[in-house]
Structure 1
Amino acid sequence: MDGHPLEDLLAIARALGWGAAKILRAYYRGEPFQDGTARNLDIQNEKDGPVTAADLAVNSFVLGRLHDLLGDEQFGYLSEETYKSQASAAPFPQDWVWILDPLDGTRDFIDKTGEYAFHLALAYRGRPVLSVVTCPELERQYFATLGGGAFVETPDGKVERLQVSACDRPADLVVVVSRTHRDGRLNALLQKLPCQNQLSVGSVGGKIAALVDRRADLYISLSGKSAPKDWDMAAPELILTEAGGKFTHFSGEPLRYNTGDVNQWGGLMASNGCCHEALCAEAIRILAEIDGLS
């Protein structure tokens, strides 16, 4: 990339992740601003879910820094908090697009479960090549580059390479699930899969963190009236795949980003890769059965 080596962009993204974590934790704890004024969440209930002052503060911090450092000639910027203000739903014309979720798991943030995350990915022609997922309450930041592996770092500077579990018996797999984003169709699918061990974790970033930390082995997303968005999936996807996992549509097709439609419709499966294709096929079969009965 002209003038911007991927290693330099990763260093920028990692610094932004820790900076975002500091802002998010200040809002999470209700710490006052430096002048002593209260740091209120100012929750707004939007159609797609709640938005807080923390979302907006991190969005402004990250996009402001990226614009200052990189400009907008070579890079596009797709963010949960600003995409609706775009003139049209057309894809960004740039080959390189930053995809930002300043606060993934806003409901968990508000409910004080601690299971919220910051996502930042860089996509090239619709596929992620660099990503950061920061989990402030875990004090862990996950990062990856395409072909370069996935790693986790802690505030003291310690960095470890990540590798998903090698569990290859469907009955032994642990499925990470949401507490709230579950409709009847998804519940019916989960009940019929051979893997019945479940772990509840908020935010997609937190769920994929559970996979690369080997606390879980499988995650399924199934759109209904709404669907997860590009910014929910882009950063976690690369971290999982670079740790040896797989993240696809049930059909096996890869996810595509910056298509003009930010929704990731259909069934998506993220796993440690060991039983991925067989479980995708099983999910398709079970859904056909469920939909045939409805």
Structure 2
Amino acid sequence: MNDLDLAIELADLADAISHPHFRAQDFAVETKPDLTPVTECDRAVEKAIMDRLTEVRPDDSVLGEEFGAHGQSSRRWIIDPIDGTKNFVRGVPVWATLISLYDGDQPLLGVVSAPALGRRWWAVTGQGAYATELGSPAERIAVSSVDSLADASLSYSSLSGWKELGILDEFLDLCDSLWRTRGYGDFYSYMLLAEGAVDLACEPELALYDMGALVPIVLEAGGTFTNTAGLPGPFGGNALASNSRLHEAALDRLGRVAPAEVS
């Protein structure tokens, strides 16, 4: 089984666990030490994925949101079992399982599966980005050709975090320079970007497992993915993604400021 086929199998496995519980809303919710919610479904999905990887890729390492890092291999699967847990808890269908594979800091593939939306996206480095309505043929996707901030649409998650980063005024200035802003949120902002439905997406505070699967999809669709200082990839503590044409202008508006922990 090649890596993409395995990643798709893992997404199917995750959907089979999470989606029935979402529809029934029959799960327990706890608060983690960082005050974010976690459900028994988050843990069940991640455990099922880790167990399967142990069977078929025992030499690969794994990083998951709920159970942390396992293994030392440079080939690392990065898992967010339910991105958008707050939406999941409240019955909002904008949530997904994020699965990616990296070799060192190089993305090999990413899969984003959102069963409540009936959508799935994936990309393998060098092979393009694709999306499908679940059960339908895949279609190749690409970012937009918008080349002016004044004509651009931005998707973001919320205003919280921009103040802590010290660039709330800069973020609002960026918003004021655009044609349109909407808070579609979480993974969905970046998938809409990859499909060309929006032109920019950004968030001030993110972990590696939040971004790992998004990066190869955005890049293979023709986009650019950095942090707010311009550091490429998912390792910079936050994200600014674009259709590439708008990236430098958006970085300038945000002041090219990185999270404090990023040198």
TM-score, scaled to structure 2: 0.89
Question: Relative to 1, partners in 2 of residues 1:183 and 1:279: Cα closer, same or farther, differing over 3 Å?
Answer: closer
The C-alpha deviation readout for 1:206-232, integer Å capped at 9, x for no partner, is 11111122221111222xxxx311110
Q: Which runs of 5+ in 1 are unaligned?
A: 32-39, 87-91, 258-263, 289-294
Q: Could you tell me which of 206, 230, 247 is aligned with 2:188? A: 206
Show the 5 A alignment for 1:90-239: 93-179=72-158, 181-184=160-163, 185=166, 187-193=168-174, 194-195=177-178, 197-203=180-186, 205-222=187-204, 227-239=205-217
Contact 2:170 2:255 in 1 (8 A): no
Q: Does 1:240 align with 2:227?
A: no
2:155 maps to a residue whose letter is V
Q: Could you tell me which of 19, 39, 45 is aligned with 2:31? A: 45
Question: Relative to 1, partners in 2 of residues 1:121 and 1:202: Cα closer, same or farther, differing over 3 Å?
Answer: same
The C-alpha deviation readout for 1:21-64, integer Å capped at 9, x for no partner, is 23211111117xxxxxxxx3210111231110110111111111
Q: Could you tell me which of 38, 58, 65 is aligned with 2:45? A: 58
Output the CA distance in 1 between the equivalents of 2:3 and 2:93. Answer: 28
Output the CA distance in 1 between the equivalents of 2:161 and 2:153. Answer: 17
The C-alpha deviation readout for 1:184-223, integer Å capped at 9, x for no partner, is 35542322112251121132x211111122221111222x
The C-alpha deviation readout for 1:137-183, integer Å capped at 9, x for no partner, is 22111010111110012322411001011111101111101147444
Bigger radius of gyration:
1
Output the CA distance in 1 between the equivalents of 2:208 and 2:160. Answer: 17
Aligned residues: 253
Contact 1:103 1:116 in 2 (8 A): yes
SS of 2:213's equivalent?
A: helix
The C-alpha deviation readout for 1:108-144, integer Å capped at 9, x for no partner, is 1112221111100001112211110011122111010
Q: Partner of 2:261 in structure 1?
A: none
After the TM superposition, which parts of structure 1 deviate over 3 Å for at least 4 consecutive aligned residues? Answer: 179-187
Q: Partner of 1:260 in structure 2?
A: none
The C-alpha deviation readout for 1:53-97, integer Å capped at 9, x for no partner, is 1101111111111111111x2x1000001117x7xxxxx531100
Contact 2:219 2:225 in 1 (8 A): yes
Contact 2:152 2:178 in 1 (8 A): yes
Q: Could you tell me which of 15, 19, 24 is aligned with 2:18? A: 24
Output the CA distance in 2 between the equivalents of 1:190 and 1:165. Answer: 22
| Percentage of matched positions with identical amino acids | 28
Contact 1:212 1:240 in 2 (8 A): yes
Q: Partner of 2:242 in structure 1?
A: 271
Contact 1:171 1:196 in 2 (8 A): yes
1:207 maps to a residue whose letter is S
Q: Partner of 2:54 in structure 1?
A: 67
RMSD (Å), alpha carbons = 2.1
2:63 maps to a residue whose letter is L
